[in-house]
Amino acid sequence: MGYGQGVIFCIPVTPDGQVGPGWGRASRVALADLSTPVQVDRWEVHQVDWDIAHDQGTHGSHHARIVRFLRDNQVGCVVAEHMGPGMRQVLQAMRLPVVIGAAGDAHDAVLLAAALLTDEGLFSGPEESASLTRSSSSEQSASLTRSSSSEQSADLTRAVVVGGLIVDMDGTLVDSHAVVRQVWSSWANSQGLDPAEVVSYSTGRRPEATLKHFAPDDPDPQSTTARLEEQEVSLTEPITEVPGARALLTSLMAEDEPESPERPVVALVTSATRRLAQVRMEAARVPFPQVAVCGEDVPQGKPAPDGYLAAAGALGVPITDCLVLEDAPAGVAGALAAGAKLIVVGGEAGQPDHPNQLAAVQDLTGIRARRLPDGRIELTYPAVRT
């Protein structure tokens, strides 16, 4: 049972209590004692300096050092952001459950891992003495696979393999909410309208749609739209990337350059004009995809599915083989209407009962992507809402 009365979880931690990067190169780990899956009874941080020891001696001696620590402290489960295959095999041989994909606050990550173990029947309920059930299958106890589908892995992450990734801009890649609120609130006040209502409606929609909704009698909507866009273009502060956006797109766009023989796998779909989209993406230092469907490129904007269908066509894959990242209700509705798979970004619930909505995440830090040898892409994402 370890130093307390429950199951001991081991997780890399940073000095500020976040999940530390990696496992075998962790400098600090925490031991969390849980007598039930819903409460950490005791928390101890150990300075292990595995990052220094990793390059001293052989891999075998380093693995032995980690195994000794785990056994000395009677660890019942390891939680980490990621882990190399060699270390995974070592822990599998120990029949030690490993939960991969942890991120954010380390305390919370341990509780999420405990919840997952409970779902798998590997952590007893609160009415029983805490224990980890050892499965006769060492593969199950090590990887906690929840689905036999080759497109889904377990731990704290899921995975999906698709032919293309379609991403929204405002609220998904770029945090421009302050600018949008400033411009549309000013216009709403000038019209005697409720700024909050106008800003909420405008999210994810083309400006002409917002004008038509709130000011159908505007004598010159084109001039009003142009004036509003000029204001938005001129305001580049505070515009920042949504956390994780730059890394995610960069990981997939390295081979998307025009001279590359590889086909593009990322497309941008935004209600903004191309001019405004380029300004905002540059301000946030997020790479601009080779394929982009902007507000002026389709007859109907979100929530119509036109933009997503056009993006899938430009990528050369069926929309049903695409994953969309979206934040706004209008974009969510359009993506699902098009037939795409969906992950909702930014804290909105989206349509959680829809079979094509895979997850809802706060930002993009928990999403990883890699291009497979056949040209498709594999994306991993948090299995629980973050």
List the domain boundaries for the chain: 7-146, 159-173+239-382, 177-234
349 C-beta neighbours (distance < 10 Å), count? 12
CB 190 within 8 A of CB 203: no
Give the strand order in the sheet containing 291-293: 291-293, 266-269, 164-167, 322-326, 341-345, 357-361
Strand, helix or coil for residue 372 = coil
In sequence order, what are the residues at sequence separation of 6 or more whose Cβ sits closer than 8 angstroms to the Cβ of residue 220?
none
Backbone angles phi, psi at 114, to 5 degrees: -65, -40
pLDDT the model gives residue 123: 58
Compute and round to an integer the Cα radius of gyration of the chain. 24
β-strand 164-167 against 266-269: which pairing, if any? Answer: parallel
Task: Report the CATH superfamily, name and number, of domain 159-173+239-382.
Answer: HAD superfamily/HAD-like (3.40.50.1000)
pLDDT the model gives residue 70: 93
Q: What is the dihedral of CA 277, 280, 286, 289, to 10 degrees?
A: 10
pLDDT the model gives residue 131: 38
pLDDT the model gives residue 357: 93
Q: What is the mean pLDDT of each run of 10 residues along the chain (386 residues)?
A: 67 92 89 87 92 73 87 90 79 81 88 79 45 34 31 57 95 85 80 83 76 82 79 75 91 62 86 89 92 91 93 96 93 95 87 90 88 90 65
pLDDT the model gives residue 245: 92
| Active site (annotated) includes residue 306 | no
CB 186 within 8 A of CB 259: no
> Residues 168, 256, 327, 363: which is the catalytic one?
168
Instruction: State the Cα–Cα distance between residues 285 and 209, nearest whole angstrom.
Output: 28
pLDDT the model gives residue 57: 65
| Active site (annotated) includes residue 168 | yes
Instruction: State the Cα–Cα distance between residues 301 and 218, nearest whole angstrom.
Output: 20
Instruction: State the Cα–Cα distance between residues 158 and 147, nearest whole angstrom.
Output: 10
DSSP state of 296: G
Beta bridge partners of 39: 36
137 C-beta neighbours (distance < 10 Å), count? 11
* Residue 221 preceded by cis peptide, ω within 30: no
> Residues 170, 175, 306, 327: which is the catalytic one?
170
Considering the entire predicted model, what is its pTM? 0.59
Tell me, which fold does domain 7-146 have in CATH?
A: Nucleotidyltransferase; domain 5 (3.30.420)
